């Protein structure tokens, strides 16, 4: 199985609404067509709990890239955009890193970024972003809920992932939602 098959088998969603910034991830870990774990935590805090990061890809790649992003955040004193650009540059040019096929979703209170190994650092126009195989379903559901409901950001994230889980076989309902500021 190629890495590109692995990187899509998850769902991570970021939502910003009414001053609240949240990121949610499902808990399923699949190997091929087999569910290996149901309660994995795919979203974590970084840099003094001011940045949320989610990952779609192989676990070993995730840990490597998490460490590198954390080092960049430390170096640039929590400046997510600068850290993301520097990570993307390293990821694209490093002989070993450039073989990793993965996506990172990162957010702080001001920015929401999708970072890839091809050097992309994309800030979506809207207040939602998603990665992984269930990402398009969660993204569509979250956009609809933001536009047509009074639900808050954590509820939107949780409900959007539930919708994704009902469609994507690589997404489950073991959902973890983190909010920037929850540890303050």
Q: How confident is the model at residue 65 (pLDDT cuts 50, 70, 90)?
A: confident
Per-residue confidence (pLDDT) for residue 184, from 0 to 100:
59
Residue 82 to residue 111: CA distance in whole angstroms: 11
Q: Which residue has the higher pLDDT, 147 or 59?
A: 147
Q: Count of domains in the chain?
A: 1
* Rg from Cα positions in the chain: 15
Query: Using an 8 Å Cβ cutoff, are 21 and 13 in contact?
Result: no
The CATH number of the domain holding residue 96 is 3.60.20.10
| pLDDT > 60? residue 4 | no
User: For the ranges 68-72, 96-100, 140-144, 166-170, which has the lowest average pLDDT?
Assistant: 96-100
| pLDDT > 60? residue 173 | yes
Query: Using an 8 Å Cβ cutoff, are 27 and 11 in contact?
Result: no
Q: Tally Cβ neighbours within 10 Å of residue 166.
A: 12
Residue 51 belongs to a domain: yes
Residue 9 belongs to a domain: yes
Residue 184 belongs to a domain: no
Residue 92 to residue 98: CA distance in whole angstroms: 5
What pTM value is reported for the model? 0.91
Paired with 41 in beta bridges are: none
Give the active site residues.
Answer: 10
């Amino acid at each position: 199985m190629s890495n590109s098959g692995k990187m899509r088998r998850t769902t991570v969603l970021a939502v910003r609404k009414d001053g609240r910034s949240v990121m949610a991830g499902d808990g399923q870990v699949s190997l091929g067509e087999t569910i290996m774990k149901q309660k994995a935590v795919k979203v974590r805090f970084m840099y003094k709990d001011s940045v949320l990061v989610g990952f779609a890809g192989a676990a070993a790649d995730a840990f490597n890239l998490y460490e590198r992003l954390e080092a960049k955040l430390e170096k640039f004193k929590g400046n997510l955009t600068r850290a993301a650009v520097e990570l993307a540059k390293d990821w694209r040019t490093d002989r070993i890193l450039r073989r990793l096929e993965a996506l990172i979703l990162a957010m702080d209170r001001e920015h929401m970024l999708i970072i890839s190994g091809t050097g992309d650092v994309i800030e979506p126009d809207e207040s939602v972003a998603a990665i992984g195989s269930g990402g398009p379903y969660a993204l569509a559901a979250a956009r609809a809920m933001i536009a047509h409901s009074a639900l808050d950001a954590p509820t939107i994230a949780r409900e959007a992932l539930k919708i994704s889980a009902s469609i994507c076989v690589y997404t489950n309902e073991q959902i973890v939602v983190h909010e920037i500021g929850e540890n303050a």
